[in-house]
Amino acid sequence: MTDSSSTHPWQDPDQKPYIRIENVTKKFGDFTAIDNLSLDIYKSEFFSLLGPSGCGKTTLLRMLAGFENVTDGRILVDGEDMSDIPPHLRPINMMFQSYALFPHMTVEKNIAFGLKQDKLPDDVINQRVEEMLELVELTKFAKRKPNQLSGGQSQRVALARSLAKSPKLLLLDEPLGALDKRLREQTQFELMDIQEKLEVTFVIVTHDQEEAMTVSSRIGVMESGNLIQVATPTEIYEAPVNKDVADFIGDVNLLKGIYKGKDKEGTQLLSEDSNSIVYATQEVEAELEDTIWFAIRPEKLEISKRKPSNDINVLQGVIEDAEF
């Protein structure tokens, strides 16, 4: 039980959330970017906000950082209401999508910038900067200016800078968006390593579902200013809450059917395409004869020339086309 509460704090009613977003609404003029959203995020989580562009995920992140005011509702960090606290006084650091490195400062000055604001003694700052440079393996580049760095190096400087002040909460806005695929995959694991090592709470915004699936402890899937589903990657993959989530996460075959009740084999559906009964493991809240959508992950399909021995969920078909 203790094990489960440390890895799944959201299942433990005794755990206090580290970030509490309470009925937050954000309006830009007439446009509602965030619509009455509530969410709890726990300590040391790697939480991903996932959704298409324009769904409000970046707005939510910017409200956590303090760059946008909350129109309605409130945000608590470690029990403290953040509403009237300007960004420079929040115990939160952010890694920007554009990295936002100061172009007139060297790598080490960029990393030291946050520490200098705390008026720490020089030797403490220098030591911390060295630690950070080692962490992101950029010691050799300490004296370079941002325009002399590659995309991957800039990304690591931005990460080092945002981690230098040992924030309890780090916000990452599309941190890997500007990297190519190979570098992105490598950096994902580096991020996870760093997050585990430093035990920082990470909230990451991404539109890349693969990235979210790989790195997150939990994912919040967003659409037009609302959270549609908040769950672990496995839960979201295996039991998406609706058709949009299913479609957004991973490859999927989406089919329409009619709900025919349930029995010991599972939920019974009459598939419109094959005109046969399909059994699903998921339960659904629906009336008999309702039209519902169901999804089959491609890797859960087995194909064979001979008829399988079991009777349920077996369909006959003709191979029309094949591609690698």
Interacting residues toward other proteins by CB under 8 A:
65-67, 86-89, 92-94, 96, 98, 100-104, 113-114, 117-118, 161-162, 165
List of residues 6+ apart from 86 with CB closer than 8 A: 66
DSSP symbols for 277-310: EEEESS-----TT-EEEEEE-GGG----SSPPS-
Q: Measured between alpha carbons, how far is 200 from 196 in angstroms, rounded to an integer?
A: 7
Query: In angstroms, what is the minimal distance from the CB of 86 to other proteins?
Result: 7
Minimum CB distance to other proteins smaller for 97 or for 224: 97
Q: Measured between alpha carbons, how far is 39 from 20 in angstroms, rounded to an integer?
A: 6
Strands 266-271 and 80-81: unpaired
Query: In angstroms, what is the minimal distance from the CB of 72 to other proteins?
Result: 23
Query: In angstroms, what is the minimal distance from the CB of 53 to other proteins?
Result: 17
Give CA separation, 304 vs 181, 249, 273, 317, in Å. Answer: 35, 27, 20, 10
Query: In angstroms, what is the minimal distance from the CB of 135 to other proteins?
Result: 17
Q: Measured between alpha carbons, how far is 215 from 132 in angstroms, rounded to an integer?
A: 21
Minimum CB distance to other proteins smaller for 155 or for 268: 155
Minimum CB distance to other proteins smaller for 82 or for 101: 101
Minimum CB distance to other proteins smaller for 160 or for 245: 160
Q: Measured between alpha carbons, how far is 324 from 319 in angstroms, rounded to an integer?
A: 14
Phi/psi region, residue 228 (left: phi>0; alpha: psi -120 to 50; beta: rest), is alpha
Single out the residue of 276, 240, 243 nearest to residue 258, CA to CA. Answer: 276
Minimum CB distance to other proteins smaller for 156 or for 218: 156
Query: In angstroms, what is the minimal distance from the CB of 66 to other proteins?
Result: 8
Query: In angstroms, what is the minimal distance from the CB of 232 to other proteins?
Result: 29
The tokens for 279 are 């059994």
Minimum CB distance to other proteins smaller for 104 or for 307: 104
Query: In angstroms, what is the minimal distance from the CB of 125 to other proteins?
Result: 13
What is Dmax (Cα atoms) for the chain?
Answer: 75
Query: In angstroms, what is the minimal distance from the CB of 318 to other proteins?
Result: 55
Minimum CB distance to other proteins smaller for 65 or for 204: 65
Minimum CB distance to other proteins smaller for 57 or for 161: 161
**Phi, psi of 301, rounded to the nearest 5 degrees:** -90, 135
